[in-house]
């Protein structure tokens, strides 16, 4: 297994041969003990102290640790015809570390922690090829309070936490331009239902198509041949014809038996308009996909 770790992190550079060697050894140890803490993983006081010294060294940071892995990930991507770039955020709950300074908060102003936003590359067969971007977000109390106020509407997207979705998408565009023989689709959950993100895709001529789960019940215009039908996203399904169907099985749950579900597939080109406080951004034509 250690040889595989060496291959993955062949160009890890912490500007010190001892750090480079220690890094590969630690990564191999953590790989064999996924989910365990440093004291559980590193057997003995000496190894535990060595691990903490490694992560406490100024030459060691998340970007330098992940850089060789990202290079290896891109090499794996080059062998694929289609790759899904999946974005998501994870809350790192640090309630047990309340005395540590500058941790930030998650969800509210009471629980200390940070947000880890990642974009991973996967094949349509669910094989994970690796991580392509990551960002650690320290959420300040003031920004949490602004989210609940009208003032948040006046803040530029680049100053908001939600800009994480655009930054990762821009990284996807950068990678796609370097690997023109591979097709990419960027996938994100409903937190990414952001007008500026759709605008970015339009600006980049959909080099990397977006597939985002809808969250906001936007005012839209269905483009039906030569006419436009004004409606809402949630009402659009009743105004569209099915083009096919999909069947899948929901696994057995605590109080429910497993069951097979059939859903109709409906799609249409639509026009969406920016929020009233962002009219200067202009309208966008996108595709809507509904499973009914």
What is the structure's pLDDT at 93? 82
Instruction: Give the global pTM.
Output: 0.85
Q: Angle formed by the axes of helices 17-32 and 45-56, to 10°?
A: 120
Under the banding of pLDDT at 50, 70 and 90, the label for residue 244 is very high
Please compute the mean of the pLDDT values over residues 44-68 and round it to a whole number: 86
Under the banding of pLDDT at 50, 70 and 90, the label for residue 195 is very high
Domains and CATH numbers, the chain: 1-60 (1.10.246.40), 80-215 (3.90.350.10), 217-292 (no CATH)
Tokens of 68: 């060789």
182 within 8 A of 77, measured Cβ to Cβ: yes
SS3 202: helix
Under the banding of pLDDT at 50, 70 and 90, the label for residue 121 is very high
Burial of residue 168, with CB atoms counted within 10 A of its CB: 0-12 exposed, 13-18 middle, 19 or more buried: buried
What is the structure's pLDDT at 210? 95
What is the structure's pLDDT at 44? 83
- Quick: pLDDT tens for 89-105: 988 887 777 777 777 78
What is the structure's pLDDT at 137? 86
Distance CA(12)–CA(88), nearest Å, equals: 26
Write out the H or E segment, with its range, that includes residue 144.
Answer: helix 141-146
- Quick: pLDDT tens for 124-142: 999 999 999 999 888 876 6
Higher pLDDT, 99 or 10: 99
- Quick: pLDDT tens for 151-168: 667 788 888 889 999 999
Under the banding of pLDDT at 50, 70 and 90, the label for residue 10 is low
């Amino acid at each position: 297994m250690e040889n595989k770790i060496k291959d993955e992190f062949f160009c890890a550079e912490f500007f010190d041969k001892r750090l480079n060697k220690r890094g590969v050894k630690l990564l191999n140890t953590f790989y064999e003990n996924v989910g365990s803490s440093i004291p559980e993983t590193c057997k003995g006081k000496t190894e535990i102290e060595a691990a903490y010294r490694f992560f406490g060294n100024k030459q060691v940071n998340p970007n330098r640790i992940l850089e060789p892995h990202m290079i290896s990930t891109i090499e794996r991507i080059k062998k694929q015809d289609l790759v899904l770039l999946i974005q998501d955020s994870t809350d790192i709950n640090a309630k047990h570390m309340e005395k540590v300074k500058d941790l930030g908060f998650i969800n509210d102003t009471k629980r200390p922690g940070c947000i880890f936003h990642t974009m991973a590359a996967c094949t349509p067969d669910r094989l994970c090829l690796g991580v392509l971007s990551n960002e650690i977000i320290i959420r300040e109390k003031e920004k949490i309070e602004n989210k609940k106020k009208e003032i948040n509407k006046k803040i530029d997207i680049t100053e908001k936490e939600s800009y994480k979705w655009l930054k990762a998408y821009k990284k996807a565009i950068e990678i796609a331009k370097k690997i023109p023989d591979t097709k990419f689709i960027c996938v994100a959950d409903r937190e990414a239902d952001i007008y500026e993100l759709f605008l970015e895709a339009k600006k980049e001529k959909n080099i990397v198509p977006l597939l985002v789960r809808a969250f906001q019940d936007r005012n839209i215009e269905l483009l039906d041949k030569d006419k436009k039908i004004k409606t809402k996203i949630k009402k659009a399904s009743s105004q569209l014809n099915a083009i096919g169907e999909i069947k899948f099985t929901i696994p057995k749950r605590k109080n429910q038996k497993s069951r097979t579900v059939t859903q109709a597939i409906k799609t249409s080109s639509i026009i969406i308009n920016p929020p009233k406080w962002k009219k200067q951004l202009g309208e966008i034509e996108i595709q809507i996909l509904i499973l009914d």
